[in-house]
Structure 1
């Protein structure tokens, strides 16, 4: 007799074990519906064992199919098993393959595949599946199926999953211990269930189904637990907020050597080919978001390796050449970056030059998976409030180096313009920072310590003291504090920094030999460059002037950066109240802000990128650009030349589409250059960006603009 035939009879005759814990009320309600003969949708999600691998035919004799059949004809099975996937990939497909089917009961199985998942990921990714199920619009009953390999080892991943089940009050099956108890009692043998160490055979699938039947039986007869609120997460909640780039959304903003193609996962519904290459120098770059970035790539004895990095982080090996995968294709969630700031990033993937160079073998990536795109309420900084701050080191201390247009306000340093920067060297294990915001909203800062980026937000119209959450190692440290919020959105006064007892400031980092000053609008300010969807100004965390094309160009050239930019501003038209000629030389974009004194170190190159709003604002009202735009543009260029008589001037156009739509803009640039050169000014150029965006450019477009501008400056201006 089939081990699961007569399940309803067994269910009605057997009693729950003594001392059994209270039952999840959702699961008990599902079981009561089954007993009443009502229709129920059962969904299973997991890896190859859930697909029924090694049971023939898998979709009919795997444990999921056997269990569903035993529960009766009113049970609809949705089997979301996908071979070779772990819970990190499972999070990415949970909505479309499970939740969209509105299941009543979901059984989650990733115990074996999560054993090979990065140990720093498996807790968060599995917990995310549970939390997303439990917070769904129609929360299903959830059962955790903890599987191990033959012999009930290893158990690292399974033990995590079972602990999470207990934390959330969910029914669970520890199949390894259930089976080992039968072996110890002489009722069964592990070898009967497995023909190889990983995948149970047909008999093994029957045993899993039988054990699940007992778990469900206990749920049907056990005492119901009281409904409780969802508890706090045990691990990071990053994987609850995940994003999948696949098919048409997996589009590199730059690439060479890759083509659309490669094998797709035969069990992943809706997948299309990713990117594949046999070229040794193939490379692709993608715009991604989140605090964790991973590449989902193919691996077998026939593939070769990739490597990838996020932003300017270390290169990470993505093993495609896996000799032990003989005769079948595997897939791997390869983490490239983790513990990143939860914002926009650039992912670079390339074919690895190693012993397989020149082999002609393919390297393939199918998808990019990211996590940690968290809402503002869950966004945490590495800095915490300091309730009892010590007296800070004054911001005018001679050991501090300031870069940019910095104002002086009552003993503090006014940081208005994005890109305003403090550099320092210090000793000690602690760092504290003090601010006072006097205008408008929150100022967001990048605080780079020893090359590692941290994020800090100083609230508007308030004083705030902060300290680094985790202590630093003993020894010397380097600091860069850079304002990333544009001046028209927030201003902050820096009041000083604090070090640990015994810590001291050292001689500041040396000045950089080259200095660039940029004047512009929202493009130059980096407005919306980290926004995930549409342009928005509600959450300025994603607007990062340090990743705008001008700041990136300066970094490419090892130069100091000065950014004087205001969203919506122009020379003849503005979306706000002020025009650039009114505020360009002030310490902040306000008429009551004083004019900045001459720069102690004048910029070597001054770059101007205006005109987008001179066209865009009147166009929004059905009007044309001002008839005198050209003369007024030239007049402003003459103002720049008067302030910077020895600088090289570069007149820029682009980043968005105004210069394409309005011929008066490139005409004004060309006329300005021609006029100044005719007057004997040979230090003036114009450059039009090829990279552009219809909305505000994101950091991928800014990176392309910076690459263009860096080449132009090297080849034409700085030679």
Structure 2
């Protein structure tokens, strides 16, 4: 009998050493747990009854009575869905041996995904707390074609030193020898019949017994070939899949019958149904059913392109399929907003259902593995920079003089540089004497490249990949709030022969926001609880004020500090101490008048005036109202021609402390009674008990944009 078997050799990983140990234990009469992970072929589809006559059950029986089988096959799923269920359905069972089968279903998986997702399965298995032996089962359809996914999986098996069975070639060798026929194994092109399952089990049994006689040498886990995005995933399903806005969708739709504990997703028959969700990751996909009876959906992440989710698949007659549809890829590995809606097509008005079951994300990297588009290089005195104070650079927000001549201090969140240049290269030189890491958005031609500038450093950050030829537009925006990090931009470096051009046109409107952690965007991208250890997800550019300014096509000035108030603070700063300085420090220089001057000045304070004393069992300061009014007068003195908007909300203080809305109302009444008609107040409906995430900020921006258009800018 011909057998295609990839055996471990010297220099390969320790995985097959584990396989040999498992087989020796089995031969000695000890019990082992075998887990099989795959799609419908692993479930035993087309063998009756499947769970008893499929290849997994046949193999387990052939290995002896001491084998406990955990069959984690799920029809219609691929390796991208498998990484989401690996822990609960495989690793929690602490298997000794895992056989992975996705050669057929991964053929239909997005080619840009299948390498990363399958490799992630192998790496997570090999690095588990109790690593099992792993065998790769490479299956194809009848006739050993197509092989794209299977060949990729076999290459990964070789890379990690894993035993693998190339069943297509094993079977083709039998056919060539006149021992078998492909037609005997299949009644249709995709799923092997009962005879086919017997052949797969036979080939695997020979593979396992052959591996026990091979020689293996342990070496460290090799570097990944397809990145590590799918090692770090997040699954939103059931109660965790909750829209922050929804119209026309309701709980329901088909549940995967083989997925243990699966709960309904969201379904609709309305033509205009849409829903929005808070999601996380560098890749976002929707897991949904396919049927001849369903309608199509479409989805997008943030402001990305709309992607069709094929729910209507006419060839799926009489049974459901399941598909992993990527909606957003190569995203920042942080928080995003996912929008789904029914696709307007020929099925409009049909009353047919559309549904989706889960949202699956990948690329939630830990801090130490977060990728960067920039290469750090040392500063060089012999390489000239375009200085940060060059007249062709347009600065927006409160930016002060930097630590070195011709540099610019970027302390406050939202501080922005706008420029236009030619050439295929861009480098940014920064210096920081602060302790914290400053996170920036470097937006080039609409694409954002995150940049982290460590504190107490001086370096040049070169964009790793060359740009296209032609003219480019740059926006450099500070994301991290000023109390957490400061950095000075020393200048820009372009390609040889490139030119810095006149800046983009000025925006006609300027908004200045004064506030606390809500306005700063603190914790707005945190996946779980509020945290301050890693400030990358704290993105001031996605706070409600910055989003409102973006929607109005306005400049944004953000003067906000976490924990700050007018009468109380979680640290040593009160807003009256620092509101008019170039950085949130008492020793910082006074800020010169902004140019252009703000058209609208918005104030959102009070959360900490209530929250800090309340945390100690104390009441809000009895003089909060007059001190609040005094600070509003300070704002009016600096901005005599601006419209003033006094805001409340985003967190729970206005609901918990009646003194806050009273103080705001009294301030408005007092100023108007004294002839200041250019003052308004607004209380947000959207709020969160902890720091609001970007979904709440988006709703706040919806409210505020509407209010400004209808009441303030009319």
State the TM-score bracket (shorter-chain normalisation).
over 0.9
Q: 1:695 aligns with which of 687, 690, 710?
A: 690
Whether 2:672 is the aligned partner of 1:677: answer: yes
What is the aligned residue count?
706
Aligned-partner Cα distance in 2 for 1:440–1:63: 59
Q: Which residue of 2 aligns with 1:165?
A: 157
Cα displacement string for residues 24-51 of structure 1 (whole angstroms, at most 9, x for unaligned residues): 1100111111111111110000000000
Cα deviation, residue 18, structure 1: 12
SS in 1 for 2:112: coil
Whether 2:302 is the aligned partner of 1:323: answer: no
Q: Which residue of 1 aligns with 2:281?
A: 290
Aligned-partner Cα distance in 1 for 2:474–2:269: 43
Aligned pairs (5 A) from 1:86-125: 86-125=78-117
Cα deviation, residue 388, structure 1: 6.6
Q: Which residue of 2 aligns with 1:67?
A: 59
Whether 2:34 is the aligned partner of 1:42: answer: yes
Cα displacement string for residues 102-155 of structure 1 (whole angstroms, at most 9, x for unaligned residues): 101100000000000000100010011111111111111100000000111111
Q: TM-score normalized by structure 1?
A: 0.97
- Does the 8 A contact of 2:4 with 2:169 survive in 1? no
Cα deviation, residue 600, structure 1: 2.3
Aligned-partner Cα distance in 1 for 2:462–2:625: 50
Q: Which residue of 2 aligns with 1:241?
A: 232
SS in 1 for 2:212: helix
Farther off after superposition, 592-601 or 671-680: 592-601
Aligned-partner Cα distance in 1 for 2:570–2:193: 69
Q: TM-score normalized by structure 2?
A: 0.97
Q: Which residue of 2 aligns with 1:7?
A: none
Q: Which residue of 2 aligns with 1:5?
A: none
- Does the 8 A contact of 1:148 with 1:175 survive in 2? yes
- Does the 8 A contact of 1:403 with 1:420 survive in 2? yes
Aligned-partner Cα distance in 2 for 1:92–1:52: 22
SS in 2 for 1:370: strand
- Does the 8 A contact of 2:5 with 2:163 survive in 1? no
Cα displacement string for residues 586-625 of structure 1 (whole angstroms, at most 9, x for unaligned residues): 0011111111111221111000000000001111111000
Consecutive unaligned residues in structure 1, runs of 5 or more: 1-9
Q: Which residue of 1 aligns with 2:571?
A: 576
Aligned pairs (5 A) from 1:510-659: 510-659=505-654
Aligned pairs (5 A) from 1:700-715: 700-715=695-710
- Does the 8 A contact of 2:378 with 2:458 survive in 1? no
Whether 2:385 is the aligned partner of 1:392: answer: yes
Cα deviation, residue 227, structure 1: 2.0
Cα displacement string for residues 69-96 of structure 1 (whole angstroms, at most 9, x for unaligned residues): 1111111100000000000000000000
- Does the 8 A contact of 1:308 with 1:348 survive in 2? yes
Change (3 A) 1:21 1:493: closer
Aligned-partner Cα distance in 2 for 1:355–1:600: 53
Cα deviation, residue 313, structure 1: 0.8
- Does the 8 A contact of 2:6 with 2:164 survive in 1? no
Consecutive unaligned residues in structure 2, runs of 5 or more: none
CA RMSD in angstroms comes to 1.5
- Does the 8 A contact of 2:7 with 2:163 survive in 1? no
Q: 1:215 aligns with which of 196, 207, 216?
A: 207
Aligned-partner Cα distance in 2 for 1:21–1:378: 30
Q: Which runs of 4+ in 1 moved over 6 A?
A: 14-20
- Does the 8 A contact of 2:98 with 2:134 survive in 1? yes
Q: Which residue of 1 aligns with 2:264?
A: 273
- Does the 8 A contact of 2:379 with 2:459 survive in 1? no
Aligned-partner Cα distance in 1 for 2:235–2:636: 49
Cα deviation, residue 20, structure 1: 7.8
Q: Which residue of 2 aligns with 1:507?
A: 502
Change (3 A) 1:516 1:19: closer
Farther off after superposition, 366-375 or 436-445: 436-445
- Does the 8 A contact of 1:16 with 1:218 survive in 2? no
SS in 2 for 1:541: coil
Aligned-partner Cα distance in 2 for 1:222–1:588: 66
Q: 1:135 aligns with which of 112, 127, 131?
A: 127
SS in 1 for 2:392: coil
SS in 2 for 1:568: coil
Farther off after superposition, 21-30 or 475-484: 21-30
SS in 2 for 1:603: coil
Q: Which residue of 1 aligns with 2:248?
A: 257
- Does the 8 A contact of 1:299 with 1:321 survive in 2? yes
Change (3 A) 1:404 1:69: same
Aligned-partner Cα distance in 2 for 1:408–1:477: 26
Cα displacement string for residues 281-320 of structure 1 (whole angstroms, at most 9, x for unaligned residues): 1111111111000000111111111111111111111111
Aligned-partner Cα distance in 2 for 1:517–1:19: 66
Change (3 A) 1:221 1:578: same
Q: 1:198 aligns with which of 187, 190, 196?
A: 190
Aligned-partner Cα distance in 1 for 2:351–2:565: 53
Whether 2:655 is the aligned partner of 1:660: answer: yes
- Does the 8 A contact of 1:16 with 1:217 survive in 2? no
